[in-house]
């Protein structure tokens, strides 16, 4: 492989992955404790609005993806979404789907990423997703992350069939557990037939990642183990930023290169140069489409 980039013209914009807070109404066993709980205070809405205003001063098109925790539990989340509307070119929300269909259908955003977690009432969330579609939300403005828990594979397959019937775009994701010594996923938890079933299912969402001349969805890049970019030059920090729940800013969700400062206190600075990846694997679907160059291959082509 020589080069990875987004299939969309995103190279001159900035994707903001914003962990709005740790508060969540779920407590999934595989979710890292450092990113979720049911007690952390909500960040004041004035601080969040000021952070949006600070991002606007970057003078680049912004694509903000709110995540968490569960971002929609913030009591003034609606107000924050409306504050983004005039100046942010694309706003996406990653949610566990536990708000009402009516709430989802009326928000001034560009797209939803619904996550199905099978330790909870997944059928109600599937019904919510289908109802949002019936209320007029377009298929190409939603996708579903199916978190394929090894103990609930029958339920996982039932959910897939429901989404297929209504042609709702989805990706099937193996669960990455927070305990144990692993690099990507603990595939040994799965029955081999279930694992094979997961791996053979390609995303029904449009592919978003160009690797050399081939097109993939970023989730499939992970499943096919094409996500090894250690030593490559990566535009994390130029094409993307990640805001942690406490306002700490990093280049991307992998946090390569360490902290860039804190946007809530106004002390962060945006990088101007790519960084050399020091990770064994790129494990976040948000990070994979960032422009990456294989320095070793580039140098060998020049010699």
pLDDT classification of 183: cutoffs 50, 70, 90: low
Local structure of 95: helix, strand or coil: strand
Q: Where are the domains of the chain?
A: 13-206+241-267
Using left for φ > 0, alpha for ψ between -120 and 50, and beta otherwise, residue 212 falls in left
Alpha-carbon span 20 to 49, nearest angstrom = 12
Q: Is the pLDDT of residue 246 over 60?
A: yes
pLDDT tens-digit map of 73-108: 999 999 999 999 889 999 999 999 999 999 999 999
Mean pLDDT over residues 213-233, rounded? 93
pLDDT at residue 13 tops 60:
yes
pLDDT value of residue 301? 46
What is this structure's pTM? 0.92
Share of the chain above pLDDT 90, in %: 84
Q: What is the pLDDT of residues 273-288, one digit of tens each?
A: 999 999 999 989 999 9
- Computed over every residue of the chain, the mean pLDDT equals 93
If you ran DSSP here, which 8-state letter would residue 227 be given?
-
Written as one string, the DSSP assignment of 13-24 is SEEEEEE--SB-
Paired strand residues for 62: 14
Q: Are the C-beta atoms of residues 174 and 147 closer than 8 Å to each other? A: no
β-bridge mates for residue 15, sequence order: 63, 240
- CATH placement of domain 13-206+241-267: 3.20.20.70
Q: What pLDDT, on a 0 to 100 scale, did the predictor assign at position 179?
A: 62
């Amino acid at each position: 492989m020589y080069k990875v980039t987004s299939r969309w013209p995103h190279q001159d914009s900035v994707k903001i992955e914003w962990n709005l807070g740790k508060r969540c109404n779920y407590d999934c066993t595989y979710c890292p404790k450092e990113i979720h709980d049911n007690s952390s205070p909500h960040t004041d809405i004035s601080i969040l609005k000021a952070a949006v205003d600070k991002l606007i001063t970057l003078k680049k098109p912004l694509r903000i993806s709110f995540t968490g925790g569960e971002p929609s539990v913030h009591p003034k989340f609606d107000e924050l979404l409306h504050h983004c509307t005039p100046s942010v070119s694309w706003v996406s929300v990653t949610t566990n789907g536990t708000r009402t269909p009516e709430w989802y259908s009326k928000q001034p955003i560009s797209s939803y990423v619904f996550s199905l977690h099978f330790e909870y009432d997944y059928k109600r969330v599937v019904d919510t997703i289908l109802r949002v579609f019936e209320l007029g939300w377009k298929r190409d403005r939603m996708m579903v992350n199916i978190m394929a828990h090894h103990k609930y594979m029958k339920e996982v397959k039932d959910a897939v069939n429901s989404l297929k019937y209504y042609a709702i775009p989805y990706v099937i994701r193996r669960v990455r557990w927070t305990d144990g010594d692993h690099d990507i996923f603990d595939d040994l938890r799965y029955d081999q037939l279930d694992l094979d079933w997961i791996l053979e299912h390609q995303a029904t969402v449009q592919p978003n990642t160009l690797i050399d001349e081939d097109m993939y969805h970023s989730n499939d890049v992970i499943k096919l183990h094409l996500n090894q970019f250690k030593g490559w030059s990566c535009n994390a920090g130029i094409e993307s930023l990640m805001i942690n729940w406490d306002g700490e800013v990093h280049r991307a969700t992998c946090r390569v290169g360490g902290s860039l400062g804190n946007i809530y206190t106004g002390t962060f600075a945006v990088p101007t140069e790519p960084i050399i990846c020091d990770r064994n694997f790129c494990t976040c679907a948000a990070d994979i489409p960032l422009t990456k160059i294989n320095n070793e291959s580039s140098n060998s082509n020049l010699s």
